[in-house]
Amino acid sequence: MAYTTTQHGALRRSILWLLIILGLGAAWFFWGSGMDTVPKMARMAAPATPVAVAVAADGQIARLLRAPGTVTAPAVVTIRARVDGTLLALHFQDGQYVYQDDLLATIDPEPFRIRLEQALGQQTSRVAQLDIARRDLARYEALYRQDSVARQQLDAARAQVLQLEGQARSDQAAVDEARLQLGYTEIRAPLEGRLGLHQIDVGNLIRAGDPEGLVVLTQSRPMDVLFAIPQTRLPELRLARRQQADLPVRLHSGPADVIRAQGRLLAVDNQIDVATGTVRLKARFDNTDEALFPNEFVQVSLELGVQKGVVVPLRAVQRGASGEYVYRVTADGQARTAPVTTGADDGRRVVIESGLQAGDTVVVEGVDRLRDGSLVEIVTGAAQEAGS
């Protein structure tokens, strides 16, 4: 069948219009419903980021107040002489642990023993005079009843007795004073503790007014720790103390946060320091091993109870301009940002008050290479539950 020129032109125009319609349809497809196809394909083509993950789980964490503290001895005593004299002997070694009433040093007692003997001699003489005066008084009273002596003589005898009795009491005080001074020649420990380095050697003259003293005695069992907390945490602390009087306190050291000692809260200061806005606290530790040393700086954690909830590793929580968030791994292998609200933490784990549920998988390592929607590859073994 032969086509005319007019028929050929009409056919070409039909084919042209058909191509134009197909082209418009393709453009509408790509620019309309297919706008997300290119980004999705680009993401599918991007390599997955290797990460380590953990599974959020129900658990509980102690609510801690952390602060730096200073170890302080409950009692520090400078051992001083109470009388002047020559130091005859030291009965301790430097750094020795001593107990109450242990003999520490001896001062030459001879001058004080002589004074005691003098006082005793004076007292003996006075006792004899008093005895004679009392006998004379008894005779005068008998004679006065017989009207054989004047009233004036009787009164004089009574006055003599009273005078000698007063002198006898003074003599007794002098004897007690001399005996006390003699006792001071033995220097004894007033309490249990550890001695420092002695300041005076044997043979030297030791004086009662010496400011340095003989040696310093420090009580080391138990030991106290002083630390301060912000005044904003004071209501929380007072509420916890009403529920438990002896709140547990721990001391930490080193990058591994090793617990060095465990004790209890002893006291809270009665006023706030207006210069720093803090309140001072005192904790007591048994220190039976003497691991704590006076004036040592330590890290203190005061436990105010426990908080229950969803627990994840602390390193999973990130902080940005809009607040705290974590990367939650979805079922299709993507890391999605999830805003969270955190609660108590113990330095390793943290309670998530909102934003996560038990069983959610969160990224704990490799977060610095992630963006919202990044594909991830879990490179560790089975994820561990953070709440265990």
In contact, 301 and 66? CB cutoff 8 Å = yes
The answer, yes or no, to whether residue 31 has pLDDT greater than 60, is no
233 and 166 co-located in one domain: no
Residue 234's nearest CA partner among 51, 65, 1, 6 is: 65
CATH number of the domain to which 377 belongs: 2.40.420.20
CB within 8 Å of 347: residues ≥ 6 apart: 257, 314
User: Does residue 22 sit within a domain?
Assistant: no
Structure tokens at 339: 């805003």
pLDDT at position 19 is 67
244 and 338 co-located in one domain: no
- DSSP line for 114-178: HHHHHHHHHHHHHHHHHHHHHHHHHHHHHHHHTT-S-HHHHHHHHHHHHHHHHHHHHHHHHHHHH
55 and 123 co-located in one domain: no
195 and 87 co-located in one domain: yes
Of the listed ranges 221-235, 241-255, 316-330, the least confidently predicted one is 241-255
pLDDT at position 374 is 87
Q: pLDDT-based confidence at 193, cuts 50/70/90?
A: very high
pLDDT at position 106 is 97
Q: pLDDT-based confidence at 23, cuts 50/70/90?
A: low
Structure tokens at 137: 């008084």
User: Does residue 13 sit within a domain?
Assistant: no
pLDDT tens digit sequence for 196-226: 999 999 999 999 988 899 999 999 999 999 9
Last-in-domain residue among 154, 184, 217: 217
The answer, yes or no, to whether residue 39 has pLDDT greater than 70, is no
pLDDT at position 266 is 94
Residue 332's nearest CA partner among 365, 291, 376, 299 is: 376
Token pair 């001058």: residue: 111
182 and 85 co-located in one domain: yes
pLDDT tens digit sequence for 350-383: 999 999 999 999 999 988 888 888 898 888 654 4
CATH number of the domain to which 227 belongs: 2.40.30.170
What is the Cα–Cα distance from 88 to 111, expressed in whole angstroms? 13
212 and 115 co-located in one domain: yes
Of the listed ranges 16-25, 70-79, 107-116, 233-242, the least confidently predicted one is 16-25
95 and 175 co-located in one domain: yes
Last-in-domain residue among 262, 282, 306: 306
181 and 86 co-located in one domain: yes
| Angle in degrees, 0-180, between the axes of helices 151-183 and 110-145, rounded to the nearest 10 | 160
Structural domain including 338 reads 45-61+308-385
pLDDT tens digit sequence for 154-191: 899 999 999 999 999 999 999 999 999 999 999 999 99
Angle formed at CA 93 by CA 87 and CA 96, multiple of 5 degrees: 130
Domain count, the chain: 3
pLDDT at position 382 is 44
Last-in-domain residue among 247, 275, 306: 306
Higher-pLDDT residue of 9 and 151 is 151
The answer, yes or no, to whether residue 4 has pLDDT greater than 80, is no
Q: How many CB atoms lie within 10 A of CB 358?
A: 16
pLDDT at position 80 is 95
